Amino acid sequence: MTTYLLVHGAWHTGECWARVVPLLEAAGHRVLAPTLTGYGETAHLAGPEVGLDTHVDDVAGLIRAEGLTDVVLVGHSYAGLVISSVANEVPDRIARLVYLDAMVPEHGETAADVLPVTQAMIEAALASESGWRVPPMPELPPPDGLFGVTEPADVAWLRTMLSDQPVRCLQQPVRLDNPATRTIPRTHIHCTVKPDGFERRPVPAVQPNGTPAEIWELATGHDCMITAPGELSELLLKLG
């Protein structure tokens, strides 16, 4: 049995994994898909003090509280920053890091360093009436849709999950200074349908642990757990 810990990205909740969780569980694995502080049922806790470090504490705290080991830690989008710092804190408990169409940082980098378009979101939030709220990305014409979701029923479902992102999440730097994190294998899953302006960094040919990079692709939009749950689950099961 493998333990999968699925971490949602900005603006979303753990419910976004609802189509993936049963597929992994049906294969005999344990799956956790928490909602990070400030989203969904905890949206009332969102505020200017909530940041990347808050979400790292959420996930690392869950791993410790549940006594999890040999975890396949999956981070979608913004959560690539989260899982990186989590691995820095508890590297002995992580079997693999999976960057699912995610930001892949180096030590000391922020979201804006990894994805420069994020800087405009930060500036707009700081200049807004609240001073900290980053609203979800707007829906775009197909094939981009709402985070890559275009089916009307799925868009309506996704809208029920979305809430504002605290700007501090995009400002705090990732910590990757524990040498043990370099030994953890990595898998990158890229969604190939993406809007203009969201160019990802090339993945180095060699992982930090010295092995060849492992990169898989899904021919779907950004929220692949909604649009292609079966295909995504098949890839994740290869890691179990």
Strands (E) located in 22-112: 30-32, 71-76, 94-100
What are φ and ψ of residue 2, in 5° steps?
-100, 145
94-100 sheet: strands from edge to edge:
30-32, 3-7, 71-76, 94-100, 186-191, 215-218
**Looking at residue 16, what DSSP letter applies?**
G
With contact defined as beta carbons under 8 Å apart, do 166 and 133 qualify? Answer: yes
**How far is Cα 189 from Cα 237, in angstroms, rounded to an integer?**
13
Locate tokens 């868009």: which residue?
155
**How far is Cα 82 from Cα 50, in angstroms, rounded to an integer?**
13
Q: Give residue 76's domain range.
A: 3-237
Work out whether strand 71-76 and strand 3-7 pair parallel, antiparallel, or are unpaired: parallel
Work out whether strand 165-166 and strand 133-134 pair parallel, antiparallel, or are unpaired: antiparallel
Q: What is the pTM of this model?
A: 0.97
Give the active site residue among 77, 84, 85, 233.
Answer: 77
Task: State how many domains the chain has.
Answer: 1
* pLDDT confidence of residue 240: 80
Q: What CATH code is carried by the domain that includes residue 159?
A: 3.40.50.1820
- Per-residue confidence in pLDDT tens, the chain, 240 aa: 999 999 999 999 999 999 999 999 999 999 999 999 999 999 999 999 999 999 999 999 999 999 999 999 999 999 999 999 999 999 999 999 999 999 999 999 999 999 999 999 999 999 999 999 999 999 999 889 999 999 999 999 999 999 999 999 999 999 999 999 999 999 999 999 987 767 888 999 999 999 999 999 999 999 999 999 999 999 999 998
* pLDDT confidence of residue 180: 98
Q: Is 85 annotated in the active site?
A: no
Q: Which amino acid is at 59?
A: V
